[in-house]
Amino acid sequence: MEWLFLVVSFVAVLAAGMMLTRQNAVHSALFLIVNFGCVAFLYLMLDAPFLAMVQVTVYTGAIMVLFLFVIMLLGAEATSDTSGTMRWLGFAGTAVAIILLLIFAFPLASDMLADETIERPDTQARLRVINAIPGGEAEVFTVMESGFAMPLEGTVSSNVLLDAADESFEDLRLDDAVYQYARESIQAYVDLPAGDYTVIAGVGDGNYVSGPIYTETVNLAPDSGHSVVFFENSENLIDVVVVQDDVSAPSVGKMRLTVFNAVTDKQVSLVDVGQYTARRSLCENGSCSSLIPHSVLIERLPAGEKTSLELEEGSYNLAFVDQNQSVLRTLADYDAERGLIETRVLVREPGVPGSQPSYRAAVFNTIAIPAFGSPEAVGQVLFIDYVLPVMLVGVLLLVALIGVIVLARPDALAQAERRRINRRRRVNRPLVSVISQQTGADVLSGDYLAKLPGGSDDKAAE
Amino acid sequence: MNPIGTEPYIVLSMVLFLMGALGVLMRRNAILLFMSVELMLNSANLALVAFAREWGQVNGHVFVFFVMTVAAAEVAIGLALIVNIFRERQSINIDELRQMQG
């Protein structure tokens, strides 16, 4: 890798030097293209594939073609480059370059001598809470600390946010903790700085925790997603697991479906029942007892675990069945959209004790985190955070377009020349004085004046 | 992960910028002057991309994108001006363009 960088940067510097020293402007332009190509390669090495492509198309493509076109158009390949009057500029240029070199090199050298490792800021990780406790009324709170308390949800009021930031980890008492409810089964992902977190989770009423308290240290890696899932275990106690979610983009033309089984004492399989139109109406309410599966997508997922699969774009009839092949829940006409990341959590609906239990496949969608430097990542920042600058640049380009059209009007110069000639011919003297100058006759006196049209007026004016 | 740190890229960017500055100061051909300015803009872009990776933020890429747009506009206008100047004076030596001096 290092030799690659050395070779490419050497070629870049060499091309720049050749560009500066060639007398023929066409050669200079071609060497500049080599330099731009090297820079595009370096962009690729710097994890910026989108910019590398823009560099090649815009710089080495469009801009350099424009340069070459103008050089050829003017026939200015070898215009004299020497200056008669400003010889000293060469020395001044060298001096300024040396001064610039010192200015640039000083902070770099001092930084290298100081040998300080720069503290890189943490990039973002994502965490969410899924409450899959039957009944859904239980309040759940989660606290994370990495030196300081971090509220889980951005909608927590700013007061709470400030208090949390002020409090150190040691001072943090549980009843002071920033808490988070997950009444409605799911919270959207919360962005957090990546790092090690202690997730404290339990069921509480907002101020106090009752029931089992769960503590786990989780490493939230950059660009990863985790879910804290609350579910009921087989002893009817609340259990908590932290699972890592796959938030990368699914394969092209596919969607990713993640299934989490939060149903106690059931091993859930996901089957594709195909076009079972005759039986679908029967199974819609989950009352049909058995189905012959077309193909098994997920086999015997134990409670408290999750698994992922990728589905081709299209429509499916899916069914969740337990280990006895009885249908828990059907998903008829399930549309698999490309690029979608969906999590289905299978939960038992709270019902009257003793009645037939029903099940629900709660749905949570996720937006994939685009890879660093990819067109998606740049586009998201460009059109979300920088909408106004993008528009201003658009206006700038429009102005440049109009400016070029005005400058390049084919007869702009000829028109200006004609206008100047016309202006020179306009005479701002009385006609009689012009005639007297051209004929040599003294028309200003005698009776010539009377014979001239308007001559008496001129005389009156004088 | 890329084993090369940010510093080599910054040094390279510095060298390219200085070469561009030298070109602007020492070459008298207006087209070459413009090409040197492009070289300087490119070296600044390289530094921005290197720092974007250093900090793990895509914002640097966005700025490079804007610089490229501005450079494209600047080249279009500048070359149109050069063409007009050449048509009038049959020369693009910038030392001969001194009528503004009075």
- Residue B64 contacts residue B45 (beta carbons within 8 Å): yes
Residues A279 and A238 in one domain: no
* Lowest-pLDDT range of A8-17, A125-134, A391-400, B90-99: A125-134
Q: Does B28 touch chain A (CB under 8 A)?
A: yes
Residue A364 lies in a domain: yes
- Cβ of residue A427 closer than 8 Å to a chain B Cβ: no
pLDDT (mean) for A287-316: 73
Task: Measure CA of the first residue to CA of the last residue in chain A; give whole Å.
Answer: 91
Q: How far is B102 from chain A (nearest CA, A)?
A: 16
Q: What is the pLDDT of residue A152?
A: 41
Contact A97 B4 (CB under 8 A): no
pLDDT score, position A448: 60
DSSP A45-92: HTT-HHHHHHIIIIIIIIIHHHHHHHHHHHT-TT-----SS-THHHHH
Would you call A224 helix, strand, or coil by DSSP? coil
User: What pLDDT sits at residue A335?
Assistant: 79
pLDDT at A255 over 80: yes
Specify which of A44-53, A84-93, A406-415, B84-93 reaches the highest per-range mean pLDDT: A44-53
Residue B100: pLDDT band (50, 70, 90) is low
A406 inside domain? no
How far off is chain A from B73, nearest CA to CA, in Å? Answer: 6
CATH number at residue A39: 1.20.120.1200
Q: Both A124 and A114 in a single domain? A: no
Q: Establish if A387 touches chain B: CB-CB under 8 angstroms.
A: no
Residue A428: is its pLDDT beyond 60? yes
Minimal CA separation from B68 to chain A, in Å: 8
Q: Is B48 on the interface with A (CB under 8 A)?
A: no
Same domain, A338 and A351: yes
As a whole number of angstroms, the distance between CA A379 and CA B41 comes to 22
Confidence (pLDDT) at A35:
95
Percent of chain A with pLDDT over 90: 16
- Residue A200's CATH number: 2.60.40
Count: domains in chain A:
4
Residue pair A198/A145 in contact by the 8 Å Cβ criterion: yes
Q: Of A191, A210, A245, which residue is a domain's last? A: A245
Q: Which residues pair with A336 in a beta bridge?
A: A314
User: C-alpha angle with apex B18: B15 to B22, nearest 5 degrees?
Assistant: 140
Tell me if chain B has a CB within 8 Å of the CB of A323. Answer: no
A455-459 contacts, C-beta under 8 A, 24 or more apart: A458/A430, A458/A431, A458/A432
Mark whether A62 and A102 lie in a shared domain.
no
Task: Label residue A146 by pLDDT band (50, 70, 90).
Answer: very low
pLDDT of residue A103: 84
For residues A284 and A295, membership in a common domain is answered with yes
Q: What angle do CA B57, B63, B66 make, to 5 degrees?
A: 150
Nearest to A368 by CA among A346, A343, A386: A343
The minimal CB distance from B31 to the residues A25, A85, A399 is found for A25
Mean pLDDT of chain A: 71
- Rounded distance, CA A33 to CA A15, Å? 9
* Shared-domain flag, residues A15 and A36: yes
Angstrom distance (rounded) from CA A233 to CA A117: 47
Residue with the larger pLDDT of the pair A264 and A277:
A264
- Dmax over CA atoms of chain B, in Å, equals 59
pLDDT digits 0-9 by tens, B23-47? 888 888 889 999 999 999 999 999 9
Q: Is residue A133 located within the same domain as residue A238?
A: yes
Total beta-carbon pairs less than 8 A apart between chain A and chain B = 224
In this model, does residue A289 exceed pLDDT 50?
A: no
- The model's pLDDT over A148-186, given as tens digits with 9 standing for 90+, comes to 344 343 222 222 222 233 332 222 333 333 333 333 334
Q: Say how far apart CA A181 and CA A203 lie, in whole Å.
A: 9
A328-338: pLDDT as tens digits: 777 777 778 77
Considering CB atoms only, which of A39, A85, A94 is closest to B42? A39
CB of A14 within 8 Å of any CB in chain B?
no
B59: closest chain A residue by CA: A381
Which residue among A48, A63, A378 places its CB closest to the CB of B75? A63
Bridge partners for A202 per DSSP: A141
Confidence (pLDDT) at A120: 54
Q: Which class would CATH give B6-101?
A: mainly alpha
Is pLDDT of B93 > 60? yes
CA separation for the pair A127, A220 (Å, rounded): 8
Burial B55-87 (b: 16+ CB within 10 A, else e): ebebbbbbbbbbebbebbbbbbbbbbbbbebbe
Q: Long-range pairs for A100-107 at CB < 8 Å and ≥24 separation?
A: A100/B17, A100/B18, A100/B21, A101/B14, A101/B18, A104/B14, A104/B17, A104/B18, A105/B14
Task: Give, as one character, the DSSP assignment of residue A236.
Answer: S
- Given this model, what pLDDT does residue A453 score? 61
Q: Which residue of A has its CA nearest to B66?
A: A393
Do both A278 and A336 map to the same domain? yes
Q: Do A262 and A320 touch, CB atoms closer than 8 A?
A: no
pLDDT of residue A219: 74
Nearest to B22 among A20, A36, A84 (CB): A20
Instruction: Give CA–CA dist B1/A370, Å, rounded.
Output: 17
A46 and chain B: CB distance < 8 Å anywhere? Answer: yes
Alpha-carbon gap: A411 to the closest alpha carbon of chain B (Å) = 11
- Calculate how close chain B gets to A221, using CA atoms only, in Å: 13
Contact B14/A16, CB-based, under 8 Å?
no
Question: Are A297 and A194 members of one domain?
Answer: no
A282 & A233 share domain: no
Tell me whether A67 touches chain B (CB under 8 Å).
yes
- Contact between A298 and A259 under an 8 Å Cβ cutoff? The reply is yes
Residue A350 structural domain: 252-368
Q: Is B97 on the interface with A (CB under 8 A)?
A: no
Tokens of A128: 């969410």
Are A257 and A349 contained in the same domain? yes
Q: Per-residue pLDDT averaged across A204-213, rounded? A: 53
Q: What is the mean pLDDT of chain B?
A: 86
Question: What is the C-alpha to C-alpha distance for residues A356 and A349, in angstroms, rounded to an integer?
Answer: 10
Most distant CA pair in chain A, distance: 136
The answer to whether A240 and A201 have CB atoms below 8 angstroms apart is: yes
Residue closest to A53 by CA, chosen among B2, B61, B33: B61
Cβ proximity of A345 and A185 under 8 Å: yes
- Domain shared by A159 and A203, yes or no: yes
Quote the CA–CA distance of A272 and A295 in Å, as a whole number. Answer: 5
